Chain A
Amino acid sequence: MSGQEIVFTLLGVVAVGAGILVVTTRRLVHAALWLVVSFGALAGGYLVLTAEFVAWVQVLIYVGAIVVLLLFGIMLTRAPIGESADLDSGNRWAALAVAAATAAVLVTVLVMGFGDRRMPLHAGGGSARELGAGVFRTWVLPFEVLSVLLLASLVGAIVLSRSDIGPRDSGTGPRKEDG
């Protein structure tokens, strides 16, 4: 094993370990903080794979924005210090099964797709220039489709949060508008 592989494996262990702690800890805010560790280790993994740009965007978006949003949400609704007894639902075994199945599918796809083929890393292979060329030349259609998906969720969020912009009730009972 080369030094790179050792570091990558360690980061992977940290990411998975922190991820497990996210769902098993009994302290709500700790879960969000373990998520920071997990995302950070993931960013480190990108760095080892020379994908510098993706790594820092990962930190900027997920640690800097998503986790802050999560923490804000937790604080806005409830932010208990200490252990909460009601964090587990009866679905935990079903959730475990789904998670294991998803992992199995992903690992199978990767193994079937690549096997033990090795790809040489070269410095700058994941730079912003390479990435931009890839996204906006080769993969521009999937990229645009993804942005439509984001737009749909944006519109949905507005419809859900603004109950005052739907059609007014005219005595015929409530009408539902879907996003």
Chain B
Amino acid sequence: MLEVVVKLALVAGAFALLPLLVGQAEHKVMAHMQGRLGPMYAGGFHGWAQLIADGVKFAQKEDVVPRDADRWVFKLAPGVALVPYLLVLLVIPVGPGGQVALDLGPGVFFALAVMGVGVIGAIMAGWASANKYSLLGGMRVAAQLMSYELPMVFAAASVAMAAGTLSLQGIVGEWRWWWLPWQAVGAVVFFVAGLAELRRPPFDMPVADSEIIFGPYTEYGGLRFALFLLAEYAGIVVLCALTAVLFLGGWKGPFLNTELGWLWTLLKVGVLAFCVIWLRVSYPRMREDQLQKLAWAWLVPLSLAQLALTGVLRVAL
């Protein structure tokens, strides 16, 4: 009983802390990459308290619901967007020997299914705002999810086939270093599709701030908007953790797997999160038709090819 409580507390702590760390890293990494200062004043040393200041600002703002909005759906949407990522964190193993809050049999399917639900929050927000820009954004969110969910599931299924299990713990247990080249295509497809599902640049057409003014979130302010932002960063953490666990061997490192397993996982998550920020700084936003083309003409065939390769090798070995 105590073990469960401790684990849940740890997951809650990670859920509260890791997204903020990613957010702070984004401030700093973007500033360095683009040769600008970034936040430097709040808190004194290199603006370390900027996120806290942001949080205080968000909490102070008035909670506004537009007159024509659908009140209930409008208010519910941030929660629907955020909670699924918390649930996914429950099943992600950080270390060997039961270092996971909830060891679920079909863990991969649980993670993907619940992540998909999070997107409904953005769609709800887009519709309930009673704003044409929000509606456009909501539509783009839905279109994006529909095209990128398929390659994501295929890529994850390829690893599950290779490991012969759907349990995330089992997959890491089966993982060997030569899976890196074997599942490389699947890893790239999974990561790119995940980025698109999170609507991160360069796949941020649904929230394109310079043309539809943040799409589904246009009418949101204060804490509810902060919840959406938190959902985005929590989504980055979850995506990076899933990619690390599925494709990069989770807690397996060059040495001290059992003792330092959790550190390897965190390190891989950190490196992947850095890549997410790096991509945001490097690439311009893709157009809607380019987005759809990338999904259907590249990612789906690639993931199918990966599935075939996995199947052939699995039978041959």
Residues of A bordering B, CB below 8 Å: 27, 29-30, 33, 36, 52-53, 56-57, 59-60, 63-65, 67-69, 71-72, 75-76, 79, 81-82, 124, 127-128
On chain B, the residues within 8 Å of A59 by CB distance are 113-114, 116-117
In angstroms, Cα B116 to Cα A36, docked, is 12
**Given A56-B106, A71-B142: 6 more A-B contacts, CB < 8 Å:** A36-B120, A52-B106, A53-B106, A60-B113, A71-B123, A75-B127
In angstroms, Cα B107 to Cα A128, docked, is 11
On chain A, the residues within 8 Å of B105 by CB distance are 52-53, 124, 127-128
Q: Mark B134-160, 1 if CB is under 8 A from A, else 0.
A: 010011001101100100010000000
On chain A, the residues within 8 Å of B153 by CB distance are 60
Which of B17-25, B45-53, B68-76, B262-270 is found at the contact surface with chain A?
B68-76
On chain B, the residues within 8 Å of A29 by CB distance are 70, 73, 127-128
In angstroms, Cα B106 to Cα A53, docked, is 6
User: What are some 17 contacts across the A-B interface (CB < 8 A)?
Assistant: A29-B128, A30-B73, A33-B73, A52-B106, A53-B105, A56-B113, A57-B109, A59-B116, A60-B112, A63-B116, A65-B116, A65-B146, A68-B120, A69-B142, A72-B146, A81-B130, A127-B106
Q: What's the nearest-Cβ distance from chain B to residue A60, in Å? A: 4
In angstroms, Cα B142 to Cα A76, docked, is 10
On chain B, the residues within 8 Å of A33 by CB distance are 73, 124
On chain A, the residues within 8 Å of B166 by CB distance are 53, 128
Residues of B bordering A, CB below 8 Å: 68-70, 73, 104-106, 109-110, 112-114, 116-117, 119-120, 123-124, 126-128, 130, 135, 138-139, 142-143, 145-146, 149, 153, 166
- B116 touches which one: A60, A76, A82 (CB < 8 A)? A60
Interface of B is mostly: helix
A64, B70: Cβ atoms closer than 8 Å: no
Q: What's the nearest-Cβ distance from chain A to residue B177, in Å? A: 26
| Smallest CB gap from B160: residue in A | A128
- B149 touches which one: A36, A52, A57, A64 (CB < 8 A)? A64
On chain A, the residues within 8 Å of B114 by CB distance are 59
On chain A, the residues within 8 Å of B142 by CB distance are 68-69, 71-72, 75
Q: What's the nearest-Cβ distance from chain B to residue A2, in Å? A: 22
In angstroms, Cα B153 to Cα A68, docked, is 16
Q: A59-B114, A81-B68 are in contact. Are A128 and B120 (CB under 8 A)?
A: no
